[in-house]
A = this chain, B = another copy of it.
Amino acid sequence: MKLNVYLAGEIHTSWREEIIAECEAQKLDITFTAPVTDHGASDDCGVEILGAEEDKFWHDSKGANLNSIRTRKAIKDADVVVVRFGEKYRQWNAAFDAGFAHALGKSLIVLQMDEHQHALKEVDAAAQAVCSTPSQVAKCLSYVLTGQLG
């Protein structure tokens, strides 16, 4: 068995690298994908490539639409979608991706902070696992693939 895992959500800390490193250390057969994690590129890609916009709304619209090509492709190809909710920002795109993935029948793993437990109850109810550390996510993926605990 192989797994395709999409790592959705927060892009300002190293949680992706931690999960990937722990899985690679175990030589697990997992292909990881992610959104564009360069905040500046992600915000400006639309206008950089397709032409400037005066109105911030359309500046953002062009970028979000272009980014969605990557995001939708990656979610559709994924077996498991890990969604990270971090400390900062409103992160509605993370929750949007979780809803999108759930409707497509993807397995969901949520990586969250304790103080967000109540606010994430609807997302958690749709998830197969709720974690508080990247290492727990890696252990979930390892168990799913190998059937062995630690």
Where the two chains meet, the residues of A that have a C-beta atom closer than 8 Å to any C-beta of B are 1, 3, 33, 35-38, 41-42, 44-46, 48-50, 53-58, 60-74, 76, 79-80, 85, 89-105, 107, 109, 116-131, 136, 139-140, 143-145, 147-150
Closest to A137 in B: B49
Chain A interface mostly helix, strand, loop or mixed?
helix
Q: A49-B136, A69-B79, A69-B128 are in contact. List 7 more A-B contacts (CB 8 A).
A: A48-B149, A50-B136, A56-B117, A62-B129, A64-B122, A69-B140, A70-B144
Closest to A120 in B: B92
CA distance A29 to B67 in the complex (A): 18
Kindly list chain B residues whose C-beta atoms are within 8 Å of the C-beta of A117: 56-57, 60
Kindly list chain B residues whose C-beta atoms are within 8 Å of the C-beta of A60: 117-118, 121, 124-125
CA distance A97 to B92 in the complex (A): 11
